[in-house]
Structure 1
Amino acid sequence: MNVSRIALATGVAASSVLLLSGTAFAHVSVQPQGEAAKGGYATVNFKVPNERDNASTVKLEVNIPTEHPLSSVMPQPVPGWKVEVTKSKLAKPLQVHGKQITEAVSKVTWTADGSKIGPGQFQQFPLSLGKLPEDADQLVFKALQTYDNKEVVRWIEEAKEGAAEPESPAPVLKLSAATGDEHGGGAKDASAKDGKNAGHDEDTKSEEASDGSSDTTARILGIVGILVGVAGVAFGVLAGRRRTS
């Protein structure tokens, strides 16, 4: 009896841990499509899961960090959602490609327009960002998630080193080391092209070798066929002579 109670209690505890873990990890997050290098440009996805069983997400507000203003912030259209880009004056103008930038995007808002994020679903909202700062290792984007029951979840808490993850953490974009190509992927593209050309050369050599091998095989088979034909004729002649004798 005691063993059964212990097993039941253990099962309940394990289930509670799993449920709490799922809730803790189901938060708004941001991930780059490829690499987000310092001083470059990147396309990122804000992933928004629906955490409620009885409500749907109908709005997402993402605040662009003002301590590291970005001169270029462009949203990719998402079917069923309308997007609004808000700009603000900069305390200190930016110099980008020889031009002075006096204002930058401070917030991007997606509002449901024929669509929504239902229970058990998630939606991704892509943004093109740049130039990424060269003097920071990460960017923190505070976000607000609104449900159709008017509930607002504020994903604005910043994680502290050595401390446990906050209950409502803000999305964090980790920045990698600068690549030397401010638009990102240049070296990779060149490497990919070289690799592709190398692969093409190898394929060409393989095809040539294959063609040569096929020609040799065809010739051998042709000679064998001729020999077999000659042997057949000779056999027929000998057989005829034997019958005549």
Structure 2
Amino acid sequence: MSRITLPRAARRLPLAVAAATTAVLLAAVPAAAHVEVESPGAQALAENVRLTFVAESESATAGITELRVVLPKGIEPADVTYGEGPTGWSFTATTDGYSVKGPAVKAGEDVELSVVVRQLPDAKELAFKTLQTYGDGKVDRWIELGGSGDGHDHGHGNPAPVLKLKAAAPGARTVSPSPSAPASTSAAPTPTAEETPVDPSPQAADTAKEDDGGLSGGAWAGIAAAVLVAVAAAVFLVRRRGAAQE
């Protein structure tokens, strides 16, 4: 029985299927994780404003244990009180902002917490540099300023979360300065986000490498597995059609 030679188009089918599958998967994969700050309707000089921070996890093996926030100009640590957050987490004022930490949440789980600010400054937007720590010691450093200014990473860098503010209400005024925070609520002096090296440890360096790629290692592994399955399926179909023609 003579062997049937498949048309060139059929021989190229597996490659075409693999390319198409990869394109679809890449388009469907979400952007790299980041930290967001939200406060619907927030406006300059508003008082007693609740800010909600959402920190997305970038680790499938370790849970988040702490968020340390550096406050923007115009907000003092004494102006901030704790709202709510993960079970067992506690709030501590620092020299340049505050820290909320506690037992590690489940690996891969995002963290949401809120604070109340006595009064927002008269500004168009506020950047909250944030250090996100995991139970294994890794640190995601969301401290970069500039770029698009919308608080999102767009696949590059580690942008600080940014809160856009509406213009101040007519007649709004700056309230009197807040009293100094009690010594019992202040943490020992810690380096600010600007003073802390971007890669203080091998773990942090590993995190930075993942950030540069725009996708986590788990996401790339999933894409590779899906492509291999698609190629295998395409090869099987081509061989089955060839056998049917013999």
Q: Deviations over 1:14-66 (max 9, x none)?
A: 213433xx242x2111001x32111112111010121111111111101101x
Q: Which residue of 1 aligns with 2:45?
A: 39
Q: Distance in 1 between matches of 2:106 and 2:79?
A: 31
Indicate if the aligned counterparts of 1:23 and 1:51 stay in contact, CA closer than 8 A: no
Q: Which residue of 2 aligns with 1:68?
A: 74
Instruction: Confirm or deny that 1:125 pairs with 2:113.
Output: yes
* Structure 2 counterpart of 1:15, one-letter code: L
* Structure 1 counterpart of 2:89, one-letter code: W
* Structure 1 counterpart of 2:63, one-letter code: S
* Structure 1 counterpart of 2:43, one-letter code: A
RMSD: 2.5
- Which secondary structure does the structure 2 equivalent of 1:109 belong to? strand
* Structure 2 counterpart of 1:180, one-letter code: P
- Which secondary structure does the structure 2 equivalent of 1:36 belong to? coil
Over the matched positions of the two proteins, sequence identity in percent amounts to: 28
- Which secondary structure does the structure 1 equivalent of 2:43 belong to? coil
* Structure 2 counterpart of 1:86, one-letter code: T
When the two structures are aligned, how many residues end up with a matched partner? 157
Please show how residues 166-205 of structure 1 align to structure 2 within 5 Å. Answer: 166-180=156-170, 182=172
Q: Which residue of 1 aligns with 2:195?
A: none
Q: Which of the residues 34, 37, 40 maps onto 1:27? A: 34
Q: Which has the higher strand share?
A: 1
- Which secondary structure does the structure 2 equivalent of 1:125 belong to? strand
- Which secondary structure does the structure 1 equivalent of 2:94 belong to? strand
User: What residue ranges of structure 2 are gaps of 5+ in the alignment?
Assistant: 1-10, 174-246
* Structure 2 counterpart of 1:85, one-letter code: A
* Structure 2 counterpart of 1:4, one-letter code: P
Q: Distance in 1 between matches of 2:108 and 2:149?
A: 32
Give the number of the structure with larger relative contact order, counting CA–CA contacts within 8 Å between residues 6 or more apart.
2
- 181 and 120 in structure 1: CA distance in 2 versus 1, 3 angstrom threshold: farther
Q: Distance in 2 between matches of 1:52 and 1:77?
A: 23
Indicate if the aligned counterparts of 1:51 and 1:119 stay in contact, CA closer than 8 A: no
Instruction: Confirm or deny that 1:143 pairs with 2:143.
Output: no
Q: Which residue of 2 aligns with 1:82?
A: 90
- Which secondary structure does the structure 2 equivalent of 1:45 belong to? strand
Q: Which residue of 1 aligns with 2:220?
A: none
Q: Deviations over 1:108-150 (max 9, x none)?
A: 10111xx43323321211011132122x210000000111111
Q: Which of the residues 145, 151, 156 maps onto 1:158? A: 145
Q: Distance in 1 between matches of 2:35 and 2:101?
A: 16
Q: Distance in 1 between matches of 2:120 and 2:79?
A: 9
Q: Distance in 2 between matches of 1:49 and 1:161?
A: 20
Indicate if the aligned counterparts of 1:37 and 1:132 stay in contact, CA closer than 8 A: yes
Larger radius of gyration: 1
Indicate if the aligned counterparts of 1:58 and 1:147 stay in contact, CA closer than 8 A: yes
